[in-house]
Amino acid sequence: MDEQDRNAIAEAVRQAEGVTAGEIVVVIDHAAASYRTVPVVMALTLALFVPWPLLAMTATSAPRIFLIQLICAVLLLGTLLWYGRGGRFVPGFIKRRRAHEVALREFTARGLTRTRQRTGVLLYVALQERYAEILVDTGLDGKVDQAVWDGIVEATLTSAREDRLRDGLIEAVRAVGAVLANHAPRSADDGDELPNNVVIL
């Protein structure tokens, strides 16, 4: 996502906030976690089984077996780290949980809990995990049916799958703004409390 894309999304945030007391923050995360420990554990576990056939079927010396095991461990490690990049070996529910944890952390870190009317909204997207989430502060919690937020998230994920992430995020921001305009309309003394720029992690 280049600067022009980020500016277009930021402009959509500015326009959406023009009719609401809510504050919208968009965070795009390349990866919620690296997941490197999984292929490392797999490689080292598989390497533990290398000596057994050699011990059972050959008269190979212990130092040679150790050397073979070490070479196999290095080859397995390199192969599985390459093939398993992006969390390929990690179950989807673990990746979603990691992304959710990052979204919660970003919600606090971006100041969304410190808005005057507690009407902050985080639109978080984790690209590697193919995950998106909308988090809202206590001023909006319970006022909007979860199905509304889920619909916006699903539309965003569909756009991302079609390689239209910029358009999907702009549409999502507009949809969030329309929801906020109904439940937290702008008053005369409302100001822009948080930056509108897109946060890239």
| Rounded Cα distance, 146 and 149, in Å | 5
Closest CA to 32 of 113, 111, 109, 94: 94
Q: Which two tokens stand for residue 162?
A: 């079609």
Find residue 126's DSSP bridge partners: 29, 131
- Are the C-beta atoms of residues 14 and 112 closer than 8 Å to each other? no
pLDDT at 86: 67
User: In this structure, what token pair is assigned to residue 113?
Assistant: 């809990």
Angle between helices 165-183 and 3-17 (to 10 degrees): 10
Q: What is the pLDDT of residue 115?
A: 82
CA dist., res. 12 & res. 132, Å (int): 18
Name the strand (E) or helix (H) holding 25.
strand 23-29
Token code pair at residue 99: 């992304």
For residue 85, give the nearest of 158, 21, 33 by alpha carbon: 33
d(CA 167, CA 157): 11
What tens-digit pLDDT sequence spans the chain (201 residues)?
Answer: 788 888 899 999 998 888 888 888 999 998 877 777 777 888 888 888 888 888 778 887 888 888 888 888 888 888 887 877 666 777 778 888 888 999 999 999 888 888 888 888 899 999 888 899 999 888 887 788 889 999 999 999 999 889 899 899 999 999 999 988 888 888 776 777 788 888 888
140: number of CA atoms within 13 Å, CB side? 32
